[in-house]
Amino acid sequence: MTASESTGTDRVALAFSGGLDTTVCVPLLEDEYGYDQVIGVTVDVGQPEAEFAEARETAEALDVEHHVVDARAEFADLCLRSVQANATYQGYPLGTALARPIIATAIREVADAEDCVALAHGCTGKGNDQLRFEAVWRDTDYEVVAPVRELGLTREWENDYAAERGLPVEGGAAGRYSIDANLWSRSIEGSELEDPATVPEDDIYEWTASPGREPELLELTFEDGEPVALDGDPMDPVELVETVNEIAGAHGVGRTDMMEDRMLGLKVRENYEHPAATVLLTAHEALEQLVLTYEERAFKSQVDQQWAHKAYQGLIDAPFVEALEAFLGSTQERVTGTVTVKLEGGGCRPVARESAYAVYSERAASFNEEDVGGGITQEDATGVAKYHGFQSRLANSAIERGRDRDTE
């Protein structure tokens, strides 16, 4: 909907953080688009408490009806689904991408309850989030409104507009970066970080300390591919992720500085923190190495990549994803056991793993045993060794004969 199409009698539900973009959107939706009432919706996917305080204070100052929806459990469940798929995009564990469909769905549900006619967000026309929100919203009869994109706004214009209108926005150095935090990751972008040649200062990080602590071992227990306990203590998904974030972050685990290829074709510099995601993905993959066959692992790597790509796009409800998860589910039935990881020097690596479903025979692998069992002895490998590479040897001989003929 554009300003000329608005009726001036309707309510719009706005994805509301209380930051610059969404604060500016409130008067724009009222004055430029003519909506009668803006309803701000903040969805809890594990952000710091300070962000909710900011959203509440800003909404009150703007006289905006404000809803806070707790979606941490739904988001944590989706994060653990991503672990089953070993899901990363170009090295990034997908925290922001996974959160957006959860947030968009929660806002739509508020809009349903509040008799809204439109849904709005403060995303720019250059990023991924506009696509992730609208992938959920455009499957409804709601009008979808994006003031920042549709009016071509810049941060400089927004700051000037906020100052002119006396809008309650955070300023100064604290607002230098664009920050997005949830249970699974924290992203930092903007300002001098937009220059790929800039070395970030350590003060951009909040979840991860500079490495230097004594090494620490963590034991993760998995059932059907999902982590369910830490060091033998059962935990629900939210508690588990929060606890591992704190422990691993203290060791400096989970920093990513990358050039990310966005969906619109732009290449952007992104900095991420994701301690728990790094630990859980590392442990899960180590357990799969123990319990899955070579063929399963080889094919699953392709399925994992496809799942992660659709999740990056915000299309986790696509029929293709359902088909991918049918295969994932069949493999995860055996991904049950424990993995011990070592946190050291900012890194995380598996150092032990155990499962009743292990596709492993210590006798077969041991250098101290003459045979592998089942009536198979070392001598039986001689015939295999003779055939191994046979076709390549034939091909190389044929190539050499052809070269000889060409030189005659």
Which pLDDT tens digit goes with each residue over 152-161? 999 899 999 9
The answer to whether 77 is a known catalytic residue is no
Catalytic residue among 149, 155, 176, 178: 178
170 and 214, same domain (yes or no): no
131 and 251, same domain (yes or no): no
Q: Is the pLDDT of residue 170 over 90?
A: no
Q: 19-46, pLDDT tens digit by residue?
A: 999 999 999 999 999 999 999 999 999 9
The answer to whether 257 is a known catalytic residue is no
In a domain, residue 407? The reply is no
CA-CA distance, 14 to 42, in Å (whole number)? 9
Q: Is the pLDDT of residue 172 over 50?
A: no
Q: Is the pLDDT of residue 337 over 60?
A: yes
Catalytic residue among 17, 21, 81, 353: 21
Catalytic residue among 44, 81, 129, 180: 129
126 and 191, same domain (yes or no): no
- Tokens 């955070």 belong to which residue? 170
pLDDT at 171: 43
Q: 194-252, pLDDT tens digit by residue?
A: 999 999 999 999 999 998 899 999 999 999 999 999 999 999 999 999 999 999 999 99
In a domain, residue 379? The reply is yes
State the residue range of the domain holding 40: 3-178
Map residue 348 onto helix, strand or coil.
strand
Q: Is the pLDDT of residue 367 over 80?
A: no
87 and 118, same domain (yes or no): yes
Number of folded domains that form the chain: 3
In a domain, residue 113? The reply is yes
Q: What's phi and psi for 161, nearest 5 deg?
A: -65, -45
pLDDT at 175: 61
Domain boundary residue, one of 178, 194, 223:
178
pLDDT at 176: 78
Catalytic residue among 100, 132, 255, 334: 100
Beta carbons of 133 and 312 less than 8 angstroms apart? no
Average pLDDT over the chain, rounded to whole? 93
Q: Is the pLDDT of residue 90 over 80?
A: yes
- pTM for this one? 0.91
Beta carbons of 23 and 168 less than 8 angstroms apart? yes
In a domain, residue 249? The reply is yes
Q: Name the H helices within 144-211.
A: 147-150, 155-165
The answer to whether 304 is a known catalytic residue is no
